Amino acid sequence: MQILLGGLITLVVTVIVQIIVIPLVQRRTRRLERWEDALIELVDIHDVQMGAPLDRHSAAVISLALEEGKLERGEPGSSQDKVDAARQELYDAWDAVGELWHRFSWLQKRVYLDAPMVVKRPDRDHRVG
């Protein structure tokens, strides 16, 4: 009788572990992996991808200022078409930076919300995970 009772208890505990505990651990592991992936992508955008669009934007600002200055001074070779082209390049560069910035902001929120530890921010403290 004791063997049957011991076997039954073992079976019940095994079922509880397989139904409740293992899925909870797997969910926590998947969440941590998603957080790590988002963090890696956030760092990649910040350190690698954002540099070229910001450089392009800075160059476009300088180019537009130079072309507008040439046109105002009436220098030879200056024209409204060159100013318009420089302005369009500035708009295109701004759009490229804006797209990356939107993605960066979204990932930043996701990293904070999925953080597996206490995240302290100046505006609030909360525990997630």
| Distance between CA atoms of residues 117 and 107, nearest Å | 17
Lowest mean pLDDT among 46-50, 98-102, 119-123: 119-123
Stated pTM of the model = 0.65
Q: How confident is the model at residue 75 (pLDDT cuts 50, 70, 90)?
A: confident
pLDDT tens for residues 24-74? 999 988 988 998 999 999 999 999 999 999 999 999 999 999 999 999 998
